[in-house]
Amino acid sequence: MGELLGTTVELQVTNVAHGGVSVARLDGRVVFVADSLPGETVLARISSDDHQSFWRAETVEVLEESPHRRLHVWKAAALDRDPDRRAGGAEFGHIDLPWQRELKRQVLVDSLQRFARLENHPALEVQVEAVEGDDAANGLGWRTRVSLHVDDDGFVGPYAARSHRVVTVDALPLATQAVEYASPLDERLLGTDRVDVVSDGRRGARVVVGSAPAGKPIVERVGEREFRLDELGFWQVHHGAARTLTEAVQQQVLPELFDPSAANLDLYGGVGLLAAALIDRFTPDVRIESVESDASATANAEFNLRDAANASAATARVDRYLGQLQRDASTAERQALARASVIIDPPRAGAGKLVVASLIDLHPAQVVYVACDPVAFSRDLAQFSAGGYELRSLRAFDLFPHTHHVEAIGVLTPR
């Protein structure tokens, strides 16, 4: 181990892998190759060879290029920069935009087949849909939030790809114009290690050095509804993502199974975006509780849902909240939960075994799963399937152009 580290090798790239890299083999060993494309022959520098089952490498030259390769949209992340200095956060920026979506589709379908054991299922025909306006903009100018880092000498920039090294850049092409303009890329900041630049799309952008003052709000708008949140609180990064997800949930939820008087839930509910989607889709009288572990987000959710008399917000970890329901729910409450529609929008690690097991036990009429990681989603889906649920519909969205990330929404019902 270690004898190949830093050496340059020729690799035949065969297929895409989850995480924004492609796959090659060297002496029978899997090599995950950054900045490459399936079908290419590349020279790549081995950056990690200490893992028993795989190595990692960074492309330094393309010998035979894919027809889907394009000039990188971000000069700071392009091949002519040394791999150690390439900016992270645009790992698909060298790929034609429609082909990025095809690669994301392949990763999603492969995950569903390998981890959820789906075969010959209609969901495998899923396509990754673009957000309105992204094709015309070549997938640029969508980030309304950027987190930058500050090194020990005060230089500001993103991390280099797959590292915690700060690299300096002179542009942020994935950011909105307001965010890019406000970002202190040419300044030196001492006494902090982080800078956030945040825009709600209407009033320019705010620069937040270090931690945000407690309780400082911004307002986001989705359709006719406004949402209050803390300026560093969670919100979808793409300027069109909140609207896209709202409309997708409203379209995919099965109306014949939706009961406004049931004990409906919005788990990992944040500031109430998807709870509001159901309220606006059906009736202001919908009974629904948003559950979120962050107390500030919960307070904002309660404020944002104040026009719905039967909506509430609870501050709790989702696994503990569901565990308490399992222990304490009366017969009537369990019946209300069995009629319920449940939205889950977990973090990248997925809902996990405890949460899925609790939902299976509580047996809601439908689960609308909003997933930001295809592997975690597929693993949770396998557990749902073993517990008697089936995937009724699936859509996928390209909410993060020029990155490997893909968002999926699946609806599950009892068999």
Q: What is the DSSP string of 276-288?
A: HHHHHHS-TT--E
Q: What does the pLDDT average to over 34-56?
A: 92
d(CA 19, CA 375): 10
Give yes or no for residue 115 having a pLDDT over 70.
yes
The tens digit of pLDDT for each residue in 355-382 reads 999 999 999 999 999 999 999 999 999 9
- What percentage of residues in the chain have a pLDDT greater than 70? 98
**Choice among 40-54, 218-232, 241-255 with the minimum mean pLDDT:** 40-54
Band (49; pLDDT cuts 50, 70, 90): confident
Reported confidence tier of residue 234, pLDDT bands at 50, 70, 90: very high
Predicted confidence band at 204 (pLDDT cuts at 50, 70, 90)?
confident
Q: Would you call 242 helix, strand, or coil by DSSP?
A: helix
Q: How far apart are CA 260 and CA 283, in angstroms?
A: 7
- Can you give the length of the chain in residues? 415
- 21-30, 200-209, 233-242 — which is least confidently predicted? 200-209
- The predicted model gives 128-134 an average pLDDT of 98
Which among 391, 385, 388 has a CA at the least distance from the CA of 369?
391
Residue 213 confidence class, pLDDT cut points 50, 70, 90:
low
pLDDT of residue 94: 98
pTM: 0.96
Domains present along the chain, CATH in parentheses: 8-69 (2.40.50.140), 102-135+237-414 (3.40.50.150), 143-236 (no CATH)
Q: Which residues touch 265 (CB under 8 Å, ≥6 apart)? A: 288, 289, 290, 291, 340, 342, 343, 364
Does 134 belong to an annotated binding site? no
Q: Is 170 labeled as ligand-binding? A: no
Looking at residue 202, its pLDDT comes to 75
Instruction: Look at residue 215 in the predicted model and tell me its pLDDT.
Output: 57
| pLDDT value at residue 214 | 57
Question: Is residue 152 a known part of a binding site?
Answer: no
pLDDT band at 2 (very low <50, low <70, confident <90, very high): low
pLDDT digits 0-9 by tens, 166-199:
999 999 999 999 999 999 999 999 999 999 999 9
Q: What is the mean pLDDT of the chain?
A: 96
Residues known to be catalytic? 372
pLDDT for 212 equals 59
**361 annotated as belonging to a binding site for a ligand:** no
